[in-house]
Amino acid sequence: MSEGADAGAIRICDLTEDSRTAVPGSLFIARRGTKADGCRYIEPAIQCGAVAIITDRGDVLDELDPVLASKVVVYVSDRITRDGALIAERFYGNPAKELLIAGITGTNGKTTITHMAHQLIEAAGVRCGLIGTVEIDDGRECARAAMTTPPAVELSRTLATMREHGCQAVVMEVSSHALDQGRVDAMRFDACAFTNLTGDHLDYHQTIEHYQQSKAGLFELLKDDGLAAIGERADDAHGSSQRMIDACPKSAQVVRCVDGKSVRISDESIAGMTLEMTTPMGEISARVPIFGGYNATNTHQAVLIAQHVLSRAGLDHETIVREITEELTHLKLAPGRLERVHGGEDDVQVFVDFAHTDDALASVLGAVRGVLEDGAQLWCVFGCGGDRDTSKRARMGTVVSTIADRAVITSDNPRREPPSRIIDEIRTGIDESQMHKVSVQSDRSQAIAFAVANAKAGDVIMIAGKGHETEQISPDGMGGVRSVHFDDREHAHTALRERRLRQSTSAGQA
């Protein structure tokens, strides 16, 4: 602790990591972020009423205005992210200790498994919160999420709210960024799931090894008697599944989720599939209204998570199996995940999906290809985000041009980058022999309209990359960005309506 105000005379009644939200009595956590150093905002926090600061810089008082420095107590920590998380938990009454917590990590599939597990747990009568990329459900209301895993203070505050609203459990997505930054260091998990690990976020992690190491951090937080549902992919060249298993406590229950072995598809169409799943509570067979091999694995992992949480909540095995089996027939994917946009009156089928990596595109396009009717073509409208990992752009071009019959390259969220540069980098992954199937429409609304207008009856169109997102982030021409409302689903609906009007007009003229 550094000199400053009298530590015994202060009373902390609020925690914040954002100086703009500081109030009289706040403890301001001034940590270095990926884009800014929180120490730069200590004086504004004090001016707003902060009475204590925790930082990893011992000389911070020397740089403050003497008058302001005299008003605060400064605590110095050499592990500020961990200590900030611990302080947040204690401040909010240790809510993580009173909830059954399941965490899901991996490059792709986190949102789907989280939403599925939440649905299965709730259907069995256990109130369950949800924290993820799309939304946060605190047990009383749902709100749009700002990021996949909230900062530590917000996370503990949210868990406390869930407890107040009667939640017994929470399922949450845990991103590699959150794990690397220690946002969940004050928590212990009853169950964890790992989906897969492919090339993404290397702009942040720099190497696959660091990315993998961050993911493994979740399993180091698994309780000794917890359950780990580990997805095993034949194409995992990095040994990621075993790395997650090695990070688990020796006494934890590890269940390997292997396509074709622990989960099997007996029949499949674009309307759904029948699954046979091996679980610690026996075999479960159910017809689910979704399709795709990767979704079979997602479903299996969600079932494993739900079983373990419900068992910890006190339900007997027979009740758990019965309730889960029944709810599987009504299973819903998260918004923007293989979301159907077309209606019964449309002669083409249009889906919106969040797939924004080469691996995710391969999975979703492969799933559609597997249920495509004879003679139908598969279209894919896609782009790649700017100011992010550039290494995946060419790979995305390769995947789409290889699996889809028609590819429409467009803008995603270019952010500060010129859309044309991103498109050119995607095109470098497309073999010259596949260029005949590729079209470029940098305006995303025009790209969607082009695909819907030119598809033939029976074709399937996948609009990939943005999924549930409702805005597009583009260069503002002055070195910054601007956000405008943009929802792939809305633009697809408009394009489908125009297609029906053209068909109606043509029929009338005939």
Residue 398 sits in a domain of what CATH number?
A: 3.90.190.20
DSSP E strand stretches across 184-281: 189-194, 222-232, 253-258, 263-269, 272-279
| Contact (CB, 8 A) for 474 and 411 | yes
Contacts of 396 (CB under 8 A, 6+ apart): 357, 358, 361, 382, 384, 426, 429
- Token pair 């989960």: residue: 263
Residue 223 has pLDDT above 90, yes or no: yes
Q: Minimum mean pLDDT among 257-266, 287-296, 309-318, 397-406: which range?
A: 257-266
508 band by pLDDT with thresholds 50, 70 and 90: confident
Q: What residues make up the domain containing 237?
A: 94-328
DSSP E strand stretches across 77-210: 100-105, 128-131, 135-137, 142-144, 169-173, 189-194
> Both 269 and 314 in a single domain?
yes
431 band by pLDDT with thresholds 50, 70 and 90: very high
Residue 151 has pLDDT above 70, yes or no: yes
Residue 447: C-alpha distances to residues 406, 461, 462 (Å): 12, 11, 12
pLDDT of residue 506: 84
> Both 147 and 72 in a single domain?
no
Q: How many CB atoms lie within 10 A of CB 236?
A: 15
Single pTM value for the model:
0.90
> Both 471 and 446 in a single domain?
yes
| Domains in the chain, number | 3
Q: What is the mean pLDDT of the chain?
A: 93
202 band by pLDDT with thresholds 50, 70 and 90: low
| Contact (CB, 8 A) for 276 and 283 | yes
Does the residue 159 lie in any domain? yes
> Both 355 and 494 in a single domain?
yes
Q: Among 468, 464, 414, 416, which Cα is nearest to 442's?
A: 414
196 band by pLDDT with thresholds 50, 70 and 90: confident
| Contact (CB, 8 A) for 346 and 499 | yes
pLDDT of residue 66: 86
Does the residue 87 lie in any domain? no
**Average pLDDT value for residue range 215-235:** 90
Helices (H), 387-431: 393-403, 419-427
